Chains A and B, each alone.
Chain A
Amino acid sequence: MKTWALPLALIVAASATACLGTSPEEEARRALGPEPRLGGGGGEHDEDKGPEHRPGQPCLVCHGGEGGGGDDESTFVVAGTVFLFATDTIGVPDAEVLITDDVGHELTAVTNRTGNFMVERGGHGTAPVLRRDGRVSIPWDLVFPLSIAVRYGAEEKTMRNRAYREGSCAGCHAPRIGADSAGRVFIRDPVP
């Protein structure tokens, strides 16, 4: 065996395993894991691809259009989940998500039974069209950055900074609060 054969094989192996393989989008989708059972209790159940599934997860990983694995029926510009308390595992229904974009477009989405809402491009005319399942269709392109507030009855919280490019709320608001996550989007502070 030539003395250079082993080092050469190492180069090829390193290139193949480190530089090729799955795409970041595929890795992100895989990292979401199987559909969790709503309401806790562990385990999993059949994948429900409807608008109430996977509350709290980064929606655009699968529903982001280009490279995101979405289809024409479920490609969103912005989507996420609003929780009543930061520690809840299912979101709160009927919360309003108020979004203003960089050129002054305004829209309001209303969360569905699991707290999910979705903003999709579509419709005609000039006004957003609100649907009952958490979707809102907008007839114009949403221009980032976005100013966002959430309202539940008389309670309202305004996001302290803007969303500059991330369409999934959970992209920055993962369940775990930490250095790179602001924690869930929630309405009500816990009673001390």
Chain B
Amino acid sequence: MTERVIHGLVAALMVAGCVPGDQGEIAVSAGDLDAYRTDVHPLLEASCGTLDCHGDFGRPLRLYAETGLRAADDLRGAPITDDELRADAASLLGVSPPPDSLEDHLALLKPLEVSERGLHHVGRDLWTSRADPAYVCLRAWLEGERAPLECAAAYDRVRLPDP
């Protein structure tokens, strides 16, 4: 019995510890992608997707962006691609196991101020409350809805300079 346990441990170590896990496929519908591209991506590119934050292959929420991480070397300097946007949307949807309630989605809790029942975020608290336009924007998208005015208001706070 002991022998089997130890052999099992070795196998688990080799499989789980040394081989990257298969994260599976997360479907992003055309509607989700259009809404992500128009409403959400500009905000996330400017406030989350820099190379020194979520524009990093190693982050749980990995984001591609024209000014950040690219999916391939030869895309540097090129406009964001649909494949990259789809991968960003899937990354957002898959950042935590499906929560019982949208309130518990990590993508909503991490940027939210801790005093508002948010979670510690190395990139500091970004949203002061659930009324923050960025929270409303992202939550609407995660619900399959849209909040374009809130998304635009949130982007205005972090607007990037023109190229």
Contact = CB atoms under 8 A, between A and B. Distances in A.
Interface string A1-44: 00110011011001000100000000000000000000000000
A177 B52 CA distance: 16
Nearest to A5: B6
Interface stretch (A61-69, A110-118, A119-127, A156-164): A156-164
Contacts of B15: none
A161 B3 contact: no
A191 interface: no
A173 to B, nearest CB: 9
Given A7-B6, A165-B123, A166-B52, A178 B73 contact: yes
A10 B7 CA distance: 10
Interface in A148-181: 158, 160-166, 171-172, 177-181
A8 B71 contact: no
B50 A164 contact: yes
A70 interface: no
Given A161-B46, A164-B50, A165-B52, A179 B67 contact: no
Contacts of A164: 50, 52-53, 123
B67 A161 contact: yes
B59 to A, nearest CB: 12
A160 B76 contact: no
A4 B51 contact: no
B45 A161 contact: yes
B2 interface: yes
A179 B72 contact: yes
Given A163-B50, A179-B75, A180-B51, 5 more contacts: A7-B7, A11-B9, A11-B13, A145-B50, A181-B76
Interface of B: 2-3, 6-7, 9-10, 13-14, 17-18, 45-46, 50-53, 55-57, 65, 67-73, 75-76, 122-123, 160-161, 163
